[in-house]
Amino acid sequence: MSELVINGGKKLSGEICVQGAKNSVLPVLAATVLCGGECVIHNCPQLSDVETSLKILAHLGCGCKKDGDTVAVNARDISDYSIPDTLMREMRSSVVFLGAVIGRTGKAVISSPGGCELGPRPIDLHLSSLNKMGVTVKEEHGYLNCTAENGLHGAEITLNFPSVGATENIILAAVLAEGNTVIHGAAKEPEISDLADFLNSAGARINGCGSDTVRIRGVKTLGGAEHSIIPDRIVAATYMACAAVTGGNITLKNVMPPHMASILWLFNESGCKVNINGKSINLLSPQRLLRVPTVRSLVYPGFPTDAGPIAAALLCKADGTSVFVENIFENRFRYVDELKRFGAKIKTEGKIAVIEGVTELSAADCKSTDLRGGAALVIAGLQADGLTRISRIEHIDRGYESIERDLGVLGAHVRRETGT
């Protein structure tokens, strides 16, 4: 098993390009199932979750070619509608294939998806929405057998929570359905807009993404498309935090600042100087970070839950006490015990974490509990004195292309060691 070894206390400086968004590329790759021609996707991050998606596509009968950060997918001769349990368990986002496969073949067989253990994330909202579009679901031996015997049809669907995954699955199922579909209470994340941009370039008719009402007019077929994935706003937040806690000065290129308003608010509140120039962001950290009285995770455009662990690690040495309120997931604070190994003073109760800033952190041996919790440990290790070792970094590899390479470009002393 591999681990990251960090020699902390090095000030970060320089510039780096931000990878394509994990939460955009996965639904876009799933969407290629719906297309009758070749799809060429640029700015694909080289992640383990992307590799899993390509394995799923190949299992379904798609032709896949990869060249650097460009992936070509041809789903013209799709031959299967089931996804093996082994692949479903590798990532939670695999559930997004449900809407795409049903949309293309009229049926799908999947098991319960895997990914990070962040508490209950039931797919009932996905299934009830698809049911309104003509899908019948039978659960047998841990598998979901989904069929649309009379074909998919449009529907008016109201989501009682703006679920990103449910919004994506409805869109994917609706683009080739008969008639019109309207989603009320849709999620507004920029990754959903990116998915719609890709599908529209292939011939879909989707309007309203970025608002809470999305309208899809079904079409007969989709062709091929060429598309570039938007930058990853959570990766950008991570590298900004790495610079901020080390007293650094960095510039991020290939970012979309309008997608990051709530994240940029956090860094401004903590005393960093943030300058935006088109698609680049410069961050200059203060001598000591300031406390941020309250940070609350909310659905977009609010502060993203994925950036919660990053915020906690950022504020461990801030001057004063900060409070983080997690409003999305129930089990998001599993990383806190690992941060305490560094000497962080954090108390949690229910959905609230109280972070009392300390003057020093010490290096620690720790393990990633999930993707963003792992990123929080990297941030802690960079600001701690001594040699930190982080195990179970397969979680980190799900969302960061090569975190040791990127941080090394900025002057961090980080290496990957592979044990027996």
Residue with tokens 């598998």: 143
Q: How far apart are CA 97 and CA 106, in angstroms?
A: 13
Q: In this structure, are strands 38-42 and 225-228 parallel, antiparallel, or unpaired? A: parallel
Q: Which two tokens stand for residue 91?
A: 């990532």
Three-state SS for 82?
strand
Backbone angles phi, psi at 377, to 5 degrees: -70, -35
The kind and range of the H/E element at 101 are helix 97-105
Return the sign of the alpha-carbon dihedral for residues 102, 136, 181, 329.
negative
Write the CA distances from 295 to 62, 189, 227, 257, 351, integer angstroms. Answer: 43, 19, 35, 19, 12
Catalytic entry in 39, 44, 116, 366: 116
Three-state SS for 92?
helix
Task: Decide if 116 is catalytic.
Answer: yes
Question: Is 369 exposed, middle or buried (CB count within 10 Å of its CB: 0-12, 13-18, 19+)?
Answer: buried
Q: What is the 3-state secondary structure (H, E, C) of 241-274?
A: HHHHHCCCEEEEECCCHHHHHHHHHHHHHCCCEE
Three-state SS for 55?
helix
Write the CA distances from 270 to 4, 300, 314, 376, 382, integer angstroms. Answer: 27, 21, 9, 17, 18
Please give the span between the terminal C-alpha atoms of the chain, in angstroms, as a whole number: 6
The kind and range of the H/E element at 356 are strand 352-356
Omega before 301 within 30 of 0, i.e. cis: yes
Q: How far apart are CA 2 and CA 47, in angstroms?
A: 15
Contact assessment for residue 222 and residue 35, using Cβ atoms and an 8 Å cutoff: yes
Q: Which two tokens stand for residue 309?
A: 């662990």
Catalytic residues: 116
